[in-house]
Amino acid sequence: SYDLTQPPSVSVSPGQTASITCSGDKLGSIYVSWYQQKPGQSPVLVIHQDTKRPSGIPERFSGSNSGNTATLTISGTQAMDEADYYCQAWDINTVTVVFGGGTKLTVL
Amino acid sequence: EVQLVESGGGLVQPGGSLRLSCAASGLTVSSNYMTWVRQAPGRGLQWVSLVDSDGRTYYTDSVKGRFTISRDNSKNTLYLQMNSLRAEDTAVFYCARIQRAGTTGYAFDIWGQGTMVTVSS
């Protein structure tokens, strides 16, 4: 099966840039989406097709995907961005959806 | 307003069955790819199943042969029939709409609020 690997946790100071990585074999050849989930809430799509922001998502959220690594970048991180973040991709070979294990972003 | 509302969760004994429902408003279930995702307590997101607009269904290995995804077009509702439930199926179950782009661009852009399933004796 296809695996996506994320760091369990990332810390960032308010106003600084946070980068969350997602690694997988030849990940750059398929689209990656990113979700934000706050405690007790449903996930929210923040990036799709590697780099696109849905309507209503702040411009400080951006994404990239190349080689074996996709990255979610949050510029000028705010306290409200503290949440769990998950990457997700479609495994063409097994025709299944794969999520990364999730990264807890702490803003301190 | 586009909305997905899940129901049907609850407490069930190991080996039992449960049917989850996901009522849609503002979108047509039959015209979209729809999916179920679960999250065990304190754990990450796990994809469970999806149905495409042609009615083809796909499942994660751990639920194949036990879970069945379906839809009722007249009720604009997605279902997940869960049989032979195990303790490890305990989770919040979310339904979501899939936004597609190309052959690999599957993004879950609309989510329901989730329904809790607890499998315990």
Concatenating the DSSP letter of every residue in A13-38 gives -TTS-EEEEEE-TTGGGS-EEEEEE-
pLDDT, residue B101, reads: 81
Beta carbons within 8 Å of B54's beta carbon, 6+ residues apart: none
Contact A65, A32 (CB under 8 A): yes
Place of tokens 């796990």: B46
* Measured distance CA(B118)–CA(B20) in Å, rounded: 13
* Measured distance CA(A87)–CA(B85) in Å, rounded: 28
Which residues on chain A are in Cβ contact (under 8 Å) with B101? 31, 48-49
Bridge partners (DSSP) of residue A85 are A36, A103
Which residues on chain B are in Cβ contact (under 8 Å) with A95? 58
pLDDT, residue B103, reads: 81
Ranges of residues in chain B whose predicted pLDDT is under 70 = none
A42 vs chain B: nearest CA distance in angstroms? 6
Query: How are beta strands B10-12 and B115-119 bridged, if at all?
Result: parallel
* Measured distance CA(B94)–CA(B7) in Å, rounded: 10
Query: How are beta strands B91-101 and B33-39 bridged, if at all?
Result: antiparallel
A49 vs chain B: nearest CA distance in angstroms? 6
Q: Which two tokens mark B102?
A: 């190309």
Minimal Cβ distance to A31: which of B37, B50, B105: B105
Which residues on chain B are in Cβ contact (under 8 Å) with A101? 44
Three state DSSP letters for A87-99:
EEEEECCCCEEEE
Reading chain A (108 residues) residue by residue, the pLDDT tens digits are 889 999 999 999 999 999 999 999 999 999 999 999 999 999 999 999 999 999 999 999 999 999 999 999 999 999 999 999 999 999 888 889 999 999 999 999
Which three-class secondary structure state does DSSP give residue A4? coil
Q: Is A44 in Cβ contact with B106 (below 8 Å)?
A: no
pLDDT, residue A83, reads: 98
pLDDT, residue A33, reads: 97
